[in-house]
Structures are given as C-alpha cells and as structure tokens.
Amino acid sequence: MDSRRDFLQKLGLSSIVLPFVPLSGWAESLIEPETYDGPVLRVAIMGLGGYGSRVADAMQSCVKAKLVGVISGTPSKIKNWQDKYAIPEKNCYNYQNFDQIKDNPDIDAVYVITPNALHHDQVIRVAKAGKHVICEKPMAISPKEGQEMIDACKKANVKLLVGYRMHFEPKTLEVIRMRNAGEFGKVMFFQGQCGFKIGDPTQWRLNKQLAGGGSMMDIGIYAINGSRYMIGEEPMWVTAQETKTNPQIFKEGVDETIQFQMGFPGGAVASYLSSYNINYLDRFFLSGEKGFAEMQPSTGYGPIKGRTHKGELTQPHTTHQTVQMEEMAGIILEGKEPIVPVNGEEGLKDLKIIEAIYLAAKTGKKIPLKL
C-alpha cells in the first residue's frame, strides 16, 4: 500500500473521497509521515482509563504528536502501556511524584484525562512543572477553578488547551463555514440534545466529589459548547428545569436530566436536553432564515452524520482524537490558530454557563450570563 493511502486510512479517511469534498481548512494539517521533518509534541498521558486509552491508540497515527510518557496510580497499567507503546521507565510517573516531570527534557506536554474534579490540581501541578497542558472537558468543576488553572498556566508561560475534539471535526467545520458565509441567513434557533442511560451506579461519574455534577458536566457540555460554535455567538441568559426520577442513583448535586434554554445577542433562542437517563440523544439542529443544519449523531466518536438545506454533509470521517492531537501539536509548537478556540478561556465559558444552569434550575429564575 502506498504511504499516502496508508496514512489517510489510518486517519479513517479515504484518498478516493478526498478530491471531491470541501475540506473547510481542517485537512491542511494532515501530513504524510515520510515528508514530515518538523517539530513533534512529546506527550505524557495522565489517567490511563477508558478515554486515555482511546487517545493513546489514536495518537499512534499522529505525525506531529507522540505518546512518550504516562502518569498513573495503577502500576499494572503502567507496565502494559510501557510494553504496548515502548514507553521508557524514565517517563513513567505516579500521582505522588509527577512534579518531577520538570526535570524531564523528553516530555513537552501532559494530557490530563482523569475524573473532572481532579483536573484543577493536576493541571496546576503540571503547569508549575513547566509543561504544556491539554485537559479533558469539563476543564474543571467551577469557574473559579477554571480561572485559577488559566492563571497558573499564564504564570508558568505554558499553553493550556481543552480536549474539545469536535472543534476539529470536518462536518462540524463545514456547518461553521456555511454559517460564516451567511448560507443559513440570520440564525433563529438551535436545539441540542445529549443523553444516554448511565450504567454502574458506583462509577465516579455519579459521585459529586469526583464529577462535580451529573450529566451536565459530562455530556450537557457538548450541547452548550455546540450551540456556541454553531450559532457563533455567546449566550446572554439561561433558564433551566431539572427532573429527577431516581434519587438513589442520582444523589444530591448529581443531575439526572436537565432541560434548559438560552438566548443569544443576534436574536436566536436555543433549547437543550442533557440526560443520564434517556438513550439515543445526540442531535444538533440549527435553523436560520435561509436554511438549516441537522446533525445526528452530532458529538459521538463518529461517523458524524448531517445534512443541511443544501443536502447531505459529505466530509469524510476522521478519527477525532488523531486530528485533534495533530492540530493541538500545531497550536502548541507552531502557534497555529484553530477555527474554533480550544484554549482555557473557551473551557471557562462553558463552566460559567454550567454554573448558571445549575443556579437557574435551583431557583427557577432567568440567570443573566456575562462571558
């Protein structure tokens, strides 16, 4: 197999499809391994769980980013990852000793993929060790924490990026391109629905101490963030209503289902549903005066499917985490600007909205937003 086709297939792309589809700029970053001799971002992953494993596998197809280290509380996982990814002993850390990473010149960045409530302290420790940080969503469990993380990274002169993989997804970027080009006309309405029935009641996602909340922190955030990049504006107010059918599983502070509404400065209104108790919810709908976009699934690992008033979205499926890490390496090493921001300030805006949604649900009031 020739190297170009091999490379495109690794990314989940077909070289046959590529010439016929609009690529919205995202494919400019795709580089064939044989021709690349530029800088490489050397990454350690912190938290070797479900999503960390997915990112590690996806990074094997990256050219600009390389998995070189691990930080974990589980020695057996460290051993497995060392064997699987040829990670040297000197690049392995645990949660007690990872501050020593500051003395390791072979690691440029740490990707924090642990439970939400741990991100704050871990990101600040990584920043103090002088390494760039990529942090999973939600970046923290409160705006105060998010701001402290941004400040710590600024002070240490390191970059802070949040793992918003949809910001690099081709069909999503095509909808954003169409909106920017005025193809939907004035945007009047957005609908975002994110939900699934959660399993094991003992998992950290249902523990307020570790998750910081419930479905909103985990998946409602996709609908919030999605409306911001689909409409292209920041919301001005929010109202919200919570429904709890099972307080044994969804304890105090862990939201099961929340419906919420937001208003945007251009006149658009948006309605959302975030749930840990309703299956098959992964849908965005945008309506403008001249057209519409509908995506379902809209935020899963893909393939994302969608159509607009002009027809099906035909951009190819990519492995989200591979393209994300290629792009993030470009942002950190080359100062590239993504089409939709993935910096700490972007993560903080979603945390401010989540805090306001919880307040709106609790008080029944319309909460103004200042982002």
Instruction: Please tell me the distance from the alpha carbon of residue 85 to that of residue 76, in angstroms, as a whole number.
Output: 14
Contact, 113 vs 52, CB < 8 A? yes
Residue in 22, 49, 291, 297 binding ligand NDP, rule: CB under 6 A: 49
- For 43, 117, 127, the CA distances from 131, given in Å and listed in that order, are 10, 20, 6
| Binding of ligand NDP by 50 (CB under 6 A) | yes
Q: Which of residues 58-97 bind ligand NDP (CB under 6 A)?
A: 72-74, 77
Nearer to ligand NDP, 163 or 195 (CB): 163
Q: Which residue is nearest to ligand NDP (CB)?
A: 49
Q: Which is nearer to ligand NDP, 113 or 129 (CB)?
A: 113
* Interacting span for ligand NDP (CB under 6 A) from 114-122, 123-131, 152-160, 349-357: 114-122
- Report the C-alpha gap between 169 and 364 in whole angstroms: 36
Please answer whether residues 111 and 319 qualify as being in contact, where contact means their C-beta atoms are separated by less than 8 angstroms. Answer: no
Provide, rounded to whole angstroms, the least separation between the CB of residue 32 and ligand NDP. 27
- Closer residue to ligand NDP in complex, CB, 113/187: 113
Binding mask 199-238 for ligand NDP (x = CB under 6 A): -----x-----x-------x--------------------
Catalytic residues: 137, 222
Considering only residues 41, 87, 113, 140, which one is a binding residue for ligand NDP as defined by CB under 6 A? Answer: 113
Q: How far is the CB of 205 from ligand NDP (least distance, A)?
A: 8
| Residue 286 contacts residue 313 (beta carbons within 8 Å) | no
Contacts with ligand NDP by CB under 6 A lie at 47-52, 72-74, 77, 113-116, 118, 136-137, 163, 165, 204, 210, 218
